[in-house]
Structure 1
Amino acid sequence: MTDIQVDHTLDAVGLRCPMPLLKTKQALSSLQPKEVLKVVATDAGAKRDIPAFVALTAHRLLDSLEQSELFIFYIEKGE
């Protein structure tokens, strides 16, 4: 279990590719810099897509983990 302080949570459970990624982009655009978004998804594509997206942006992937069939990401909004 992580002790990262979360400001907002995005529930993308049940959404299929590319929706978890699109919803993540939308959620990040509404945050202030340094706020943390927790994304919870069930689509296996999110495991690849979300870290790849974050790597191309000013955002930071603080942590990612798998719990049962859930993919969980902690993303800090970039400046």
Structure 2
Amino acid sequence: MKLEDIKPDVVHDVVGTFCPVPIAETSKVMKSMQIGQVLELIADDPGVVEDIPAWCNATGQEFLGMYEEDGEYHLFVRKLKEL
């Protein structure tokens, strides 16, 4: 699946925040989502490039990929199980 083909169910913007806020916000939003839904997280903290995939591994979620545009990172996560 190409990133441009992903249609997120939820878009959450955490631009202007830094670790640990992006991870905490990702966890909070994912808890309210249904299994199978996709989150697009928008952040400008470069730490998310490593932190979000690591969080997905630790929590059993699926990291679908990311791209960077104009200093903002767009990361895609599919919820696979309850948090």
Aligned match of 2:39 in 5, 28, 37?
37
Aligned match of 1:73 in 72, 75, 82?
75
Task: State the TM-score, normalizing by the size of structure 2.
Answer: 0.88
**Aligned residues, how many?**
79
1:21-32 paired onto structure 2 within 5 Å: 21-32=23-34
The gaps in structure 2 that reach 5 residues or longer are none
Q: How far is the alpha carbon of 1:58 from its aligned partner?
A: 2.0
Amino acid at match of 2:53: P
Q: How far is the alpha carbon of 1:2 from its aligned partner?
A: 1.0
Overall identity of the aligned pairs, in %: 32
Q: CA RMSD in A?
A: 1.1
Task: State the TM-score, normalizing by the size of structure 1.
Answer: 0.92
SS in 2 for 1:39: strand
Q: How far is the alpha carbon of 1:5 from its aligned partner?
A: 1.5
Aligned to 2:63: 61
Matches of 1:65 and 1:20 in 2, distance apart? 16
